[in-house]
Amino acid sequence: MRSTKPFLLTAIILLLFGRAFSQITILSGPEKGSYYRFVSDISAVLGEKKGIKIINKPTAGSAYNFKVLTNPSSNDKFALIQSDYLNLMIAEDKFNNTNKTGSLKVVLELATEEIHIIAKKSSGLIKLQDLNKKKLGIGNEEQGSSATAKLMKDRSKIGWYTYNISFEEMLKKISAGSIDAGLIVGSAPLNMLDIDPQVMVGGIALLELTDFNGWAKYYENDTIYKGDYKWLDKDVPTFGVRTLLIANESKMTNADKQAMASIKSGVFLNLDLLKKQGHPKWKTVILPDDLPVTLEEKTGVAKTPEPATAGGKDVVSYRVQIYSRKYKKDDLIELNGKSYQAFVYSYLGAYRYAVGEFTTLSAASELQKVCRQSGYPEAFVAAFKNNIRSTDPALLK
């Protein structure tokens, strides 16, 4: 009788190997785009640390990623998506009484992506308003740029003619003069725009973007700098949107959740290395509020001490945090037709914007629902003691 020991040994080795390594696939974007670069950076820096192998899966872009991520028949669980595209899908859920976004969770707020509007320098187009009655390429329908263009057109009331074409085709058509300009959303510098200025007859220019009619209310103030592209001869004001790492929790196993938590902590433990070796926009990444204490200690981030109160009694309140920024400004937040003065505080190296103030968790949770339905998918309830942010989990039970 043939011995079964070799087979048993092989089975044990395979079982141990399977336990040692968890494979995570992240839907990124076009290979010449910033999404693909970000996932490549994470994979290169983390490698197979903590028993995780990261697969960078190139895709057409944000819209494609969303469709695959929310498709119950797909095994894909993690993807990069533009924050304004996610907001648009949340709004469509509300309008259509659907729930495609209900299981989606924002894992990380990564870099800012700038809105690039490219034209020939010889065209005379200088600012967004100049696009009225002009032909604008906006990427194909599987890319997040097309959603950004739709939102910009609806809010700004600028009546350009829209052309859904790929980015590669867009640049060719601008050069040939068959369209006037093209819109691309991505973190500067974009590889696809690392082109020889001599290739485009008439030179290359970026349009300046300023807010009017409130079109940029949900975007971040940003700048595309002269040094980002060899053909750019000045800094250009624009607006930015966040790259979000999204997970579909309804598809995740416990192993997936542990692996994603490891990637999340690994990104921030290696953030200095990512800034040094990766895409320049790693410097715009915002540390999340839910970093564990051990991670804060390793990254040198200290919590704000809480002051003692008279009689030793703490005053606990709840607010709804809607977003974080690297800059601070006064801001009125509109939710369902009602304006809220933002409460801004500094935490983990960034300014956090919150609205409302409640004495009970349940009341704050109701406002959180309103915030998420109003275009703030990252909104969550934060607890405060004596007006100082507290991370005590007991306050949120």
Domain boundary among 219, 242, 265: 242
Q: Answer whether residue 381 is part of any domain.
A: yes
Within this chain, do residues 359 and 320 fall inside the same structural domain, yes or no?
yes
Within this chain, do residues 106 and 248 fall inside the same structural domain, yes or no?
yes
pLDDT digits (tens, 9 = 90+) for 106-157: 888 888 899 999 999 999 999 999 999 999 999 988 999 999 999 999 999 9
Q: Answer whether residue 42 is part of any domain.
A: yes
The CA distance from 62 to 82, in Å, is: 6
What pLDDT, on the 0 to 100 scale, is given for residue 22? Answer: 75
Within this chain, do residues 215 and 117 fall inside the same structural domain, yes or no?
yes
Residue 231 structure tokens:
């053909």
Mean local confidence (pLDDT), 250-262:
90
Main-chain dihedrals φ then ψ at residue 256, nearest 5 degrees: -60, -45
- Which of 52-90 are b and which e, b meaning 16 or more Cβ less than 10 Å from the residue's Cβ? bebebbebbbbbbbbbbbbeeeeebbbbbbbbbbbbbbb
Please report, for the domain that includes residue 223, its CATH number.
Answer: 3.40.190.10
Judge whether 382 and 289 are in contact, CB under 8 Å: yes
Within this chain, do residues 286 and 191 fall inside the same structural domain, yes or no?
no
Mean local confidence (pLDDT), 3-9:
50
Q: Answer whether residue 331 is part of any domain.
A: yes
For β-strands 338-341 and 220-224, DSSP reports them as unpaired
The CA distance from 352 to 97, in Å, is: 31
Predicted confidence band of residue 290 (pLDDT cuts 50, 70, 90): low
Who wins on pLDDT, 213 or 17? 213
Within this chain, do residues 198 and 254 fall inside the same structural domain, yes or no?
no
Give the three-class secondary structure for 193.
helix
Residue 87 has pLDDT above 80, yes or no: yes
Residue 7 has pLDDT above 80, yes or no: no
Please report, for the domain that includes residue 392, its CATH number.
Answer: 3.30.70
What pLDDT, on the 0 to 100 scale, is given for residue 304? Answer: 42
Range of the domain at 270: 8-110+244-296
Within this chain, do residues 237 and 249 fall inside the same structural domain, yes or no?
no
Within this chain, do residues 167 and 231 fall inside the same structural domain, yes or no?
yes
Within this chain, do residues 146 and 188 fall inside the same structural domain, yes or no?
yes
CA distances from 161 to 24, 173, 205 (A): 41, 14, 20
Predicted confidence band of residue 6 (pLDDT cuts 50, 70, 90): low
Within this chain, do residues 256 and 321 fall inside the same structural domain, yes or no?
no
What global pTM score does this model have?
A: 0.74
The rounded mean pLDDT for the chain is 84
Judge whether 100 and 70 are in contact, CB under 8 Å: yes
Q: Answer whether residue 149 is part of any domain.
A: yes
Within this chain, do residues 182 and 70 fall inside the same structural domain, yes or no?
no
Q: How many domains does the chain have?
A: 3
Within this chain, do residues 235 and 258 fall inside the same structural domain, yes or no?
no
Residue 184 structure tokens:
């691309």
Within this chain, do residues 358 and 368 fall inside the same structural domain, yes or no?
yes
pLDDT digits (tens, 9 = 90+) for 359-372: 998 999 999 988 88
Who wins on pLDDT, 5 or 247? 247
Residue 95 structure tokens:
């309008």
pLDDT digits (tens, 9 = 90+) for 46-75: 876 667 889 999 999 999 999 999 999 999
Among 154, 95, 90, smallest CA distance to 374 is for: 90
The torsion defined by the Cα of 211, 213, 215 and 221, in degrees rounded to 10, comes to: 20
Residue 310 has pLDDT above 70, yes or no: no
